[in-house]
Structure 1
């Protein structure tokens, strides 16, 4: 008997009966681009297969978590072994020590590490820790930077919040909002003026390379200047490297820019496709965490042995990988797609802006020549992006279903994958 194949449409309709919006995270709903969302069934290497059997070259890669590609054999091997030994214990494991030591050796600013389950938890815990250490309440975040869905982060936020065209979220008390100061990214004058006019700021949190309003590059000495001002004023600097940690090498962006933040948040890659994140920093700060100090943080599945084993496998595998390969592949892809799209849109009054930092990038359709902050991003043409997204989807290429997200490749992507992608882009016609 032939096996019944459920369509994406059928499953989405069923999902909407039992799951709000049919998804467990808003961006998966294709809200910004429209249409029926794709329901994934399996993945291998650079390819993703949906429930209908359609195969795509994948540039989502679980939002950057799968730097080794789907179903990496080394990761699966480590995970299988741990599953047979036990999935969770409610006690500490040696695996946590092994991974924490690896992270600390690769990112020296993280002298001590605490594991959690998500980037939201990591950033939320980092803020609590910074407030305890400084004895102050106010935090500074930047427009378009996304640090998860804790109440005090959901202001002028990127990622799914931006995709939904909402400045914030209902259910966030005004009293909490009052403790968050929002500043424009890449505006060092606004930052300095704010710092100089206040003495109640506990910390500054930012994505050093924002990738949740699409990829936006920091100007000149923006990051270095922020670091210096924070150090001079006794304000803790938190780098949210949930996306960028281990993306460009066995380090964080902080090492590339020569900056030593007080606290760093990690996620995605360190879990190898499993729910795992971490925050860490100076020993004197981290020692405030319970049970050493009075800053409470806990979780039943924090440091889960299956997730941690996937993290160990991933970081171990990355030791032997050539990060220049990723950068060269993405550089070729970006240069080529920019040339193709610019040629196609040159008489439409629309510029194609490709923002790239090493191996992550975003494609913007804009009337501006450059995209340098959140306000530039939200003015981009979402209708053209939607056409572009669906054209690629219909040509076996899946990219993030939002202009506010970065594209990711993995070590499983090949030059042939890129050539097929460029062929699909070359057949894009705005009129159709």
Structure 2
């Protein structure tokens, strides 16, 4: 063991005592609470330097409660200024969390204060809460004029040409991004200025493509007349089915394209039958179209040659065809004067032809005779000529080759005759 000279022993003892004293002093100082905000401290624009924490808490509450009740969030959009009172979307500063942040920024005991730079400025952004649903609803009112819906690509037939219009992108507002940016201006008194030309929250939304590749070939066409007084109803229905795409192997199901319940009255039902007829005629001209569900009328109709009508009637009334052609088909529909035009177009060449009708097995109409006492003796008149019954055989001709598709049988319509005398019946004496 090394023995130190006496003078060095005293120096060591004094050093140890000094160190212990310093440690005990610092420990004592750290137990002394600092009950005042040291330095130049701002909560937003409110200076709370020199206040006790209790005073600061009260000051923050009073200051921001007044702002919440009396002041507004200001949004400048171009030359327009919009003011939304904080109370309208339940915005409030959280005083308790603000003081918690404050205590992390400034010394709150003697030890921390020894090493704190009291000349440093501290600005605390107070945490706040608000009703995002109410704020979003207000923002939608003022920002929705900046939005522009995207336009999907479209096709129309002009004469013999298929005209293609590419999709047009739209502009949509990212309201979540708006609110995130807007939070930086809440309770600051500064206006939120929006430059509609540069705003990052205005997002381009691409227009929709109807198919993975453009349609370029007109395959078939059909026309059906309609009552000009129903133009609005016709356009509404045709716009619904216009642009429908059917892949090879897919059904062309009219009930999936139109809501039949909207065609409830006799006039509307007749219109539905005319639309069904137009789609049917345009489709069956195409090689590879298979008939799944098609109902003809029991008697010839005024808007189509016998055999070429397709009516929607009965419990399972519908028109269903299958696209077994060698490519996709798109249905286009428009009007010209009092005619509905139906087209099928494709991305590839698909053969189509013309439809012909052959009548056979004609049955003369039966005669119904009734007595009309107002007629002179021996006088008679025809009230209705009636129509004969027959069978219509529908064929399709493509490249000079004829293919029989189907046949429809039509019942005769009776001839009605009025006479002045009771008709003589078989068996009368």
Give TM class, smaller chain: under 0.3
Greater radius of gyration (CA): 2
> What's the TM-score, normalizing by structure 2?
0.20
* Higher relative helix content: 1
Which TM-score applies when normalising by structure 1? 0.20
Higher relative contact order (CA 8 A, sep 6+): 1
